[in-house]
A and B are shown apart, each in its own frame.
Chain A
Amino acid sequence: MTEIRGLSGKPVADLTLEAVRAGEVSLSDLRIHPETLERQAVLAEQHANPQLADNLRRAAELTQLPDDEVLGIYEALRPGRSTAGQLTALAGSLAGRGLPRCAALVAEAAEVYARRGLTA
């Protein structure tokens, strides 16, 4: 089985009490790694839940964004916050930075929001 690592790349097995005592554990060591999420996505697919797999793959993409930006995108997707154009631009930016699945979600929102009156 593949070795599990934190987002920093540090192997989970190294996250010991001794490492804590030595001051060698940082926040990024505690964050989940995108490969872990991908592995879980495969499992979810094998267990009859492709939607959960999609979600975990979007999550894998989001591990590379800082918290503020993640929350900023969430805010932009709430009703009446963004114009369709803004959402489309956001989708383009996400796609350009290697987050194609998140980009697709935002692009679809742009289309539906415009039709349903959910844009700013």
Chain B
Amino acid sequence: MDKQRVNLDGFAVENPELGLAAMRSPNDPEPGLVVKDGRVTELDGVPEAEFDSIDTYIARHGLDLTVADEVMALTDVAFARLLVDPAVPRAEIIRLSAGATPAKLARVLAVLRPPELGLAMTKLRARRTPSNQAHVTNRLDDPLLLAADSATAAAFGFREVETTVPVLADAPSNAVACLIGAAFGADGVLIQCSVEEALELELGMRGLTSYAETVSLYGTEQVFTDGDDTPWSKAFLTSAYASRGMKMRVSSGAGAEVLMAGAQGQSMLYLEARCVALARAIGAQGVQNGGIDGASVAAAVPSGLRELMSENVMVMMRNLESCSGNDALMSESDMRRTSRTLPIVLAGSDFAFSGFGSVQRYDNMFGPSNFNAEDIDDFLAMQRDWGIDGGLRTVAPARIGELRREAAQACRAVYAHLGLADFTDEHVGLAVDAAGSKDLGEADTLAVLSAAHAIRQRGLTVVDIVAALDECGYFEMAERTMAFVRARLTGDYLQTSAIFDEQLKVLSLITDPNDYAGPGTGYVPSAERQREIDAIRQARGVDDLRAVQARSAVAMLAATGAARPGQDPRDVVIGVSPAVGRDVWRCLSGLAVTDVLSEMLAGLEEEGCTGRVVRFNDSVDLGRIGLAAARLAGSGIGIGLQGKGTALIHRRDLAPLANLELYSVAPSVTPELYRLLGANAARHAKGGTPDPARNPYSDEAIEARYHTTVIALMELERRRMDPAVPPEELSLEGLK
């Protein structure tokens, strides 16, 4: 048991003095608010004279004092019940929460059990339509790979693409490459290049990026100051982004204060409650939280995952956009990391991930996300399993290949046209096919650096990119990008929870408000979207299976006439199901039906019997087929074989459901076992002693793998069933 990967994770003994406490610490203050003459004179037990800078900012700007008395008078349980009561609309929760202190919201959320947190999230998130964000980065800042990966991410449905750099000076190139790439994948994807503020603002102002989210807040003054900011500097920065037309959210989350040894003995949830209250107070439209870099710190203590989800719900209560974490690999265990993420995906958040790692783990310059490129098929299956919208969709592999090629070629063309860099055909080819930057071979990192330098020095803007796309013949992408420039200038996407849909319509708190009010209300995927969710590329229908089977068809097993009863005591009949030799040619094990029959016939012959193959058209039931074969055989012994490979030995005097030997696990039956079945049938025929075969078993999810195929194969059999057609003798040509 020690070898399970979960045991690679660190688990901490709860220790409130170090801040290693998720939901509550003995050092958390009692919720409280004293207001005199419209001024907060005491906040969560701290008198005004002792307010630190965070308290001060919240007290002066963050609370709606007109509802303060009302909400602070509610018991924690009474307030908590409002969160899950479908009869209480979201707007009422928003109204009350605006007057609640940080400690109050922390206490209220601590009352909710996990499914109640889910219900609260479903009801309280700002935007009706859930969405998702991707990380697109690589170790080399390779522009062609970034363009291809950004196109892939956009095609999969991510509505925000966040990039960053291992080499700061590369940032302008990354922004341009992701911008070009995303335009090929889908319309209206927002691009972020997470770097230091000055450069990030500059890129945004030039229209190369459209949002920012790595503006960190912390729950204690000491850590805030260590982070080289104050609530006022962050408030100003928030306005600076908006003044350049950029969407912006702040970042916080459990564990940051603990890691910086500044938790002051208080719980993660209480400290985060201060961050969230401050986020609202400074006028940010949203918060990225749920642990973020400290997610594994929260996960190390009891109820840590509950705390992470509570953080997200708290953001929603403050009427802000939640970008719900899940962006740091919080466990080595696949089960634990799924357990961390699934409740949020099921409940539906504004952004389920504040960065799903759409690239290889090693290429994620934010560090591996909780879900990564290799998990996309799993995520799509989970989305389909629960019938919910996690923001992603299936893209046919061929389509991805095309998009990646177009994006990489366009990126190369734009870089060449603007005199930024010249990339070779071979480089394009490698980037298109690469799973990650390790597949690119030797990289010219100086070329990237000089391209980035040129973009910055020459002050290139999105208009230069549009012009270059246009002149290189990418008219549609140029138009698309220009349409996005116009859409940005309306400012609608500066509102809470704003994203663009693929028709460049803004979906936000204002244009797409969450109207959940219990079962039968709120977001439901449109019929078209539901089809996208359901149509994963691995799904197969009967017609798919028919085509697969048809590819294995051979010119054998022709019907030679009506089957007659045998007289020879060594005559054994192998009865096959109705579709064998017509629609079904290959068993679940991958063996050809003809090879299986050859083995059985050889086994019979080894023991001195003669085999015939007869197709029974009146039943798909293996017991009946076997029994009918036995009744036709001169020996009174028959073998039944369904096209899928299930086989048995029958005797003419047994009941249909009885048998002498059964191979039930068709996917695992080998040629040797089929031969043994033939030999054993012969031994029964001679009255000898058979050597019964053992069914092979395995630890694989045999049923998960094969049940859908079994159902389709049985349908092919059923469609060929016709009780009016008597048993037919099949040609043995090629079988012996």
Contacts and interface: CB of A to CB of B under 8 A. Distances in A.
Q: Do A and B come from one complex?
A: yes
Interface of A: 4-6, 12-13, 15-17, 20-21, 25-27, 30-33, 36-37, 39-40, 43-44, 47-49, 51-56, 58-63, 65, 67, 70-71, 73-74, 77-79, 102, 105-106, 108-109, 112-113, 116, 118
Interface string B262-286: 0000000000000000001111110
A4 B489 contact: yes
Q: Which 8 A-B pairs have the closest CB atoms?
A: A55-B283, A59-B242, A32-B245, A62-B243, A58-B239, A109-B232, A77-B233, A59-B243
Contact of B236 (A13, A60, A74, A118): A74
Interface string B335-353: 0000000000000000000
Contacts of B62: 51
A106 B492 CA distance: 28
Contact of B98 (A13, A17, A20, A48): A48
A109 B478 CA distance: 45
B205 A55 contact: no
B470 A21 contact: yes
Contact of A17 (B240, B243, B470): B470
Contacts of A77: 230, 232-233, 236
10 contacts: A26-B463, A31-B244, A40-B495, A43-B510, A55-B283, A58-B242, A62-B243, A108-B60, A112-B57, A118-B225
B319 interface: yes
B60 A13 contact: no
Given A30-B462, A37-B242, A4 B490 contact: yes
B138 to A, nearest CB: 28
A62 B461 contact: no
Contacts, number: 183
Contacts of A40: 491-492, 494-495
A39 B494 CA distance: 11
Nearest to A34: B243
B54 to A, nearest CB: 10
Contacts of B225: 79, 118
A31 B237 contact: no
Contact of B491 (A36, A47, A62, A118): A36
B512 interface: no
Contact of B486 (A12, A61, A109): A12
Interface stretch (B150-158, B196-204, B530-538, B635-643): B196-204
Interface string B587-618: 00000000000000000000000000000000
Contact of B496 (A49, A63, A112): A49
B81 interface: no
A89 to B, nearest CB: 16
B698 to A, nearest CB: 58
B52 A116 contact: yes
A48 B319 contact: yes
Interface size class of B (residues with CB under 8 A): 35 or more
Contacts of B235: 55, 58, 105
Contacts of A25: 463
B515 interface: no
A68 to B, nearest CB: 9
Contacts of A118: 53, 225, 230
B482 A78 contact: no
A48 B496 CA distance: 11
Given A36-B491, A59-B242, A79-B228, 9 more contacts: A20-B463, A20-B467, A30-B461, A37-B491, A40-B492, A48-B94, A51-B280, A55-B284, A61-B243
Nearest to A101: B239
B296 to A, nearest CB: 29
A67 B238 CA distance: 14
B474 to A, nearest CB: 11
Residue among A4, A39, A59 having the largest count of chain B Cβ atoms under 10 Å: A59
B139 interface: no
Nearest to B207: A30
B582 interface: no
A77 B235 CA distance: 10
A52 B56 CA distance: 18
B407 interface: no
A116 B206 CA distance: 37
B61 interface: yes
Contact of B461 (A27, A54, A74): A27
B239 to A, nearest CB: 4
A32 B489 contact: yes
B509 interface: yes
B657 to A, nearest CB: 68
B221 interface: yes
Contact of B232 (A13, A31, A39, A112): A112
Nearest to A110: B232
B482 A20 contact: yes
B229 interface: yes
